[in-house]
């Protein structure tokens, strides 16, 4: 069975309500008011992408504080045992709602099922837990993210006038369902090119746990086996930067288009310098705000608004969802990410990038 998601965007806003049965208690809050709903959030790591600590934690915290609820946000740092321990502690502390970004579907399912058995409402955040029991899912249209990456690579290759380019694919973690969705999206763009002979499919490999160091090693091996690689579909900015570092050693950075995702400071700087051709911006504040609104509604036993349903093919169920829209970012619209407040000019335009920012209209 394909481990993907079949997305059906609702023609009208879907309304659903779930009453959270867990007892309220205080944790991770400044005033420790036991009468307030309490929400627990487990982030996956800080290694695979900077976003979890620099963006998600920040925006979720701000959203919960604005709603006036107690909250506890912890990071499992890639450790499955810690992930389960944190979940147990949160359930014991009396959270009304548990929001998780799973490390893999197996671990995620165990945590979600235990929370459900304790009467705690559950939300899958960013990654759907296949075969899990989360009552809601909040993310981006991840197949669309991959489609933007594939289309972006095509645009960059066309701009360079490359004929029959050899493409390397540096995919995300095989245990992350989102990585499967990204691949579904960009393969829908690239496979017809391969089939027609317009492009040549080169090395194609997944990177365990989105590990950037391992991604660099894998790409180095790719270049050894196929020195003529002309383009790199890298599944996120971290893996894109790993590939760029290898290309830089051969003085081929900027010559070989490389994609990315997450609009990290590093990824945007690589785009400004010409080493990376594009990234995908996901307005994480919108995702975090949507998750916070949903969690607060569940904690208070109120109606929860969604805008889509997503099919979990392993669980054989449709999950009410909130999906946000991703945006492709090239050099000419890096400014939009700054204007949106996702990164600051001070973070982005340091040192050698100051002049590049000015050229890109970032003021």
Residue 241 has pLDDT above 90, yes or no: yes
Residue 304's pLDDT band (cuts 50, 70, 90): confident
Cα pseudo-dihedral 54, 124, 10, 292, rounded to 10 = -50
Residue 49's pLDDT band (cuts 50, 70, 90): confident
Cα pseudo-dihedral 294, 44, 183, 320, rounded to 10 = -20
pLDDT at residue 15, as a whole number: 34
Residue 33's pLDDT band (cuts 50, 70, 90): low
Tokens found for residue 168: 């390397």
Average pLDDT, the chain: 91
Q: What is the DSSP string of 7-19?
A: EEEEEEEEEEE--
| 7-16, 278-287, 324-333: segment of lowest average pLDDT | 7-16
Q: How many CB atoms lie within 10 A of CB 119?
A: 13
Strand 229-234 relative to strand 200-206: parallel, antiparallel, unpaired? unpaired
Residue 359 has pLDDT above 60, yes or no: yes
Positive or negative, the CA dihedral 149, 52, 86, 96 is negative
pLDDT at residue 26, as a whole number: 30
Q: How many CB atoms lie within 10 A of CB 24?
A: 17
Determine the Cα–Cα distance for residues 28 and 50; give it in Å rounded to an integer: 22
pLDDT at residue 25, as a whole number: 29
| Cβ within 8 Å of residue 224, ≥6 positions away | none
Q: Within 172-236, where are the H helices?
A: 177-196, 212-225
Residue 23 has pLDDT above 60, yes or no: no
pLDDT tens per residue across span 177-236: 999 999 999 999 999 999 999 999 999 999 999 999 999 999 999 999 999 999 999 999
pLDDT at residue 166, as a whole number: 98
Q: What is the DSSP string of 170-182?
A: EE--TT-HHHHHH
Read off φ and ψ for residue 308, nearest 5 degrees.
-160, 170
Determine the Cα–Cα distance for residues 287 and 282; give it in Å rounded to an integer: 8
pLDDT tens per residue across span 247-260: 999 999 999 999 99
pLDDT at residue 134, as a whole number: 97
Residue 9 has pLDDT above 60, yes or no: no
Determine the Cα–Cα distance for residues 86 and 40; give it in Å rounded to an integer: 9
Tell me the average pLDDT across 63-81: 96
In sequence order, what are the beta bridge partners of 323?
Answer: 139
Residue 4 has pLDDT above 60, yes or no: no
Length of the chain (residues): 363
For residue 43, the SS3 value is strand
**What region does 124 belong to: left with phi over 0, alpha with psi -120 to 50, or beta?**
beta
Q: How many CB atoms lie within 10 A of CB 313?
A: 15
Tokens found for residue 73: 């946000």
Percentage of residues of the chain with pLDDT beyond 70: 91
Percentages helix, strand, coil for the chain (3-state, rounded to 5) are 45, 25, 35
pLDDT tens per residue across span 133-146: 999 999 999 999 99
Q: Are 182 and 144 in contact (CB under 8 A)?
A: no
Tell me the average pLDDT across 20-31: 38
Q: Are 259 and 271 in contact (CB under 8 A)?
A: no
Q: 271, exposed or middle or buried, with CB in 10 Å at 0-12, 13-18, 19+?
A: buried
**This prediction's pTM:** 0.83
pLDDT at residue 7, as a whole number: 40
pLDDT at residue 34, as a whole number: 62
């Amino acid at each position: 069975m394909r481990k993907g998601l079949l997305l059906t965007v609702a023609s009208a806003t879907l309304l659903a309500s779930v009453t959270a049965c867990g007892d309220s208690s205080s944790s991770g809050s400044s005033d420790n008011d036991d009468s307030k709903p309490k929400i627990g959030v487990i982030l996956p790591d800080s290694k695979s992408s900077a976003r979890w600590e620099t963006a998600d934690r920040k925006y979720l915290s701000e959203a919960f504080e604005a709603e006036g609820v107690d909250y506890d946000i912890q990071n499992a740092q890639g450790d499955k045992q810690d992930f389960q321990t944190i979940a147990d502690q949160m359930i014991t502390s009396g959270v009304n709602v548990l929001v998780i970004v799973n490390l893999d579907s197996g671990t995620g399912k165990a945590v979600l099922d235990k929370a459900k058995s304790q009467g705690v409402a559950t939300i899958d955040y960013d990654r759907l837990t296949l075969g899990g029991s989360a009552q809601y899912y909040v993310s981006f249209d991840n197949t669309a993210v991959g489609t933007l990456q594939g289309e972006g690579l095509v645009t960059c290759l066309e701009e360079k006038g490359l004929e029959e380019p050899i493409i390397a694919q540096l995919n995300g973690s095989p245990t992350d369902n989102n990585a499967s969705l990204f691949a579904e999206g960009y393969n829908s763009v690239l496979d017809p090119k391969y089939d027609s002979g317009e492009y040549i499919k080169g090395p194609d490999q997944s990177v365990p746990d989105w590990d950037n160091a391992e991604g660099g090693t894998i790409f180095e091996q790719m270049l050894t086996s196929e020195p003529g690689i002309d383009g790199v579909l890298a599944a996120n900015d971290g893996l894109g930067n790993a590939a760029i570092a290898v290309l830089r050693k051969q003085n081929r950075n900027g010559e070989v288009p490389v994609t990315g995702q997450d609009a990290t400071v590093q990824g945007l700087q690589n785009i400004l310098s010409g080493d990376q051709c594009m990234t995908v911006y996901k307005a994480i504040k919108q995702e975090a705000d949507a998750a916070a609104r949903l969690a607060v509604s569940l904690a208070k036993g109120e109606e929860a608004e969604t805008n889509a349903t997503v099919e979990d093919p392993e669980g054989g169920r449709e999950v009410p969802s909130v999906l946000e829209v991703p945006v492709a970012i090239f050099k000419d619209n890096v400014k939009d990410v700054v204007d949106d407040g996702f990164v600051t000019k001070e973070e982005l335009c340091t040192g050698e990038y100051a002049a590049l920012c000015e050229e890109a209209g970032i003021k």
